[in-house]
Structure 1
């Protein structure tokens, strides 16, 4: 009887969790910002090859990345801290603090992000901030369903520029994302 062969497991980078051949670590750019960022990532996005949250997290010196759909309320309260705001499309909340204590970003498809909000009342209750008429998206690797939708990396950098002021490091990270998209396109052709 022939023994069943299992596919070889590709070695992964410990930092970015990508296969070594597609490791993102060389694309990390230290991004200047003062507002701390909490990235809540849906589990289906955690190992998605074309996701931007891991690169964003590695580039932000004051960020936290947590993976899940429904989070423990006590842990979520601790991660949010005081005066957190949620970056989410729709109308901005007039009660959002002018200098939030933390920017919360959901990394998920739009459908999954709504599920995350439904599963986490504490997130749903946060004041919201939204991007108004953002510049054209540079992220072409995944399809947006509406013209104002942006990748997690783009949306976060745009909001940090509004909150903290723009910085050349923001553009440098976007250029690294552009390079990564070119690499994805080259590998798929």
Structure 2
């Protein structure tokens, strides 16, 4: 899928091997999606990749953009559990300076691979689909939501819990 918005995913090192990590699917599905690793032992994260004009952060506790601001050209997405994502925001000052995009909570009956720590939590792929819905329309977002559902089915099937 080709979107107007470029996605830069900062994935916590501990997420990359998890079978429930949805960013792998997002990176395969989206033409304009790059995934970088954060927090790998012995590797320093180059925060200069965050410095680009018209970049927003997809995160619930961010400063809203200026009224009448044009939509972002690039969206930074944090991939990790809630604690890992919060620590990334704390440790990468450039993230705290960005305008933010916050999403509405998911419907209460949303299927999950992992139980979020709060009812408004969602997977990274769901969050990216929600951002696409807000920035580029529901039709494009539906394709990402469908991929999320397919991934849930496949992971559950591999665990012997479906089909």
TM-score bin (small chain) = 0.7 to 0.9
CA distance in 1, matches of 2:105, 2:115: 18
Cα distance, 1:46–1:32 mapped onto 2, change above 3 Å: same
Instruction: Give the unaligned 5+ runs of structure 2.
Output: none
**1:100 aligned partner:** 72
Q: Give structure 1 regions of 4+ aligned residues with deviation exceeding 4 angstroms.
A: none
Counterpart of 1:162 (choices 134, 137, 142) is: 134
**1:63 aligned partner:** 33
Counterpart of 1:146 (choices 98, 101, 118) is: 118
Higher Cα radius of gyration:
1
1:61-100 matched pairs, under 5 angstroms = 61-69=31-39, 71-77=45-51, 81-90=52-61, 93-95=64-66, 97-100=69-72
CA distance in 1, matches of 2:81, 2:116: 9
RMSD of aligned Cα (Å): 2.3
Q: In 2, are the aligned partners of 1:85 and 1:126 still within 8 Å (CA)?
A: yes
Instruction: Give the unaligned 5+ runs of structure 1.
Output: 1-30
Give the count of matched residue pairs.
155
TM-score normalised by length of structure 1: 0.73
Q: In 2, are the aligned partners of 1:32 and 1:169 still within 8 Å (CA)?
A: no
